Structure 1
Amino acid sequence: MNTFLFMVFLLVVGLLVFAMLARKRSSQDSASGFVDKPKARPPLTAREQAMYNRLVQTLPDLVVLPQVSFAALLTARTRAARATFSRKIADFVVCDRAFKVVAVIELGESKKNRSGASQRDSERDALLTAAGYRVLRYQRVPDVGRVEADFDPSLASVSPLG
């Protein structure tokens, strides 16, 4: 009798485990294993694409890099200092052909996303300028004349790496 109850108990436990696993599997996407399957998106927004094209068009002798991690531009000895910039991204970095940074460009957010942005913008700019970078911030895609004026060779600033 005890063996029979033990077998029934094992059967019930086995059925419960099987039911839980089947339920979990059915809630996941079978192809990816994710409940919320990641979807592709363009690497640059429409505004960023327009800005990139404007920079490339206006600055043909310079290299324009979009979406550059601050960690590629800055370094610090302590983890706490690195944490202040490790997850930040510069919209564009403009370099000479030797990849010396000429300027870091930030494209302002649209007005609907501006709450608290000026404080964040100031903090981001302070990190970059403290390291010796020239930061240019545009609220909208500038015209060709403005970009040419901002990158006039007589006003060019040198990368902190020299």
Structure 2
Amino acid sequence: MSMWLIIGVVIIALLGIIAGKNKKPRQQHTPIHAKAILTRREQQFFAVLQQAMPRAYIFPQVSFSAILTTKGFYTRSQFNRKIADFVLCDQDLEIVAIIELDDRSHQGREQQDAARDAMLHEAGYAVLRYTQIPSAGQLQKDLYKYFK
């Protein structure tokens, strides 16, 4: 009888070891740090944009979920974690244009950018993309047709 007891204890111990190895590692809290809302380059662009469009409301880093909606979960999952660099609104807070400032990280991601733009266009938004910071005059010229 004691032999069966020893075998039982060994089996239970082995099962405990095996079960322990299959457990996911405990997730631990990592420190949270403050982060600037805009990079230095985006800050420079924001200043030029303000100069070019002083009567527009400019909202940086806007979640697509704040400006797009759909009833289907699959479609929502295509945009719910995306961010627009700048959303320009008129005096009535109607969205006039979405502006993206592309840097080197966008090289090779043209298809993803086109898919993002297609979603915004489907919702009726104008999308402007810049790889370099344009002058205030160029921005005024590019945005003139969108403001009433």
Q: Which amino acid aligns with 1:118?
A: E
Q: Which of 57, 64, 68 matches 1:63?
A: 57
Local SS of the residue matching 2:93? coil
* Gap runs ≥5 in structure 2: 1-27
1:39 and 2:33 matched? yes
Q: What residue number does 2:88 align with?
A: 94
Q: What residue number does 1:108 align with?
A: 102
TM normalised by structure 2 equals 0.76
Tell whether the 8 Å contact from 2:90 to 2:147 is kept in structure 1 after alignment: no
Q: Structure 1 stretches (4+) deviating beyond 3 angstroms?
A: none
State the 1:157 CA deviation.
Answer: 6.4
Tell whether the 8 Å contact from 1:134 to 1:157 is kept in structure 2 after alignment: no
Local SS of the residue matching 2:114? helix
Distance 1:157 1:59 in 2: 10
Q: What residue number does 2:25 align with?
A: none
State the 1:115 CA deviation.
Answer: 4.3
1:117 and 2:109 matched? yes
Distance 1:130 1:43 in 2: 27
Distance 2:120 2:147 in 1: 13
1:132 and 2:124 matched? yes
Q: What residue number does 1:26 align with?
A: none
Local SS of the residue matching 1:151? helix
Distance 1:94 1:119 in 2: 24
Distance 1:157 1:43 in 2: 26
Q: What residue number does 2:67 align with?
A: 73
* Gap runs ≥5 in structure 1: 1-32
How do residues 11-50 of structure 1 correspond to structure 2 at under 5 angstroms? 34=29, 36-50=30-44
Distance 1:69 1:41 in 2: 16
TM normalised by structure 1 equals 0.70
Q: What residue number does 2:146 align with?
A: 156
Cα displacement string for residues 107-145 of structure 1 (whole angstroms, at most 9, x for unaligned residues): 102x2x234311111011000001110000000111111
Backbone CA RMSD of aligned residues: 1.6
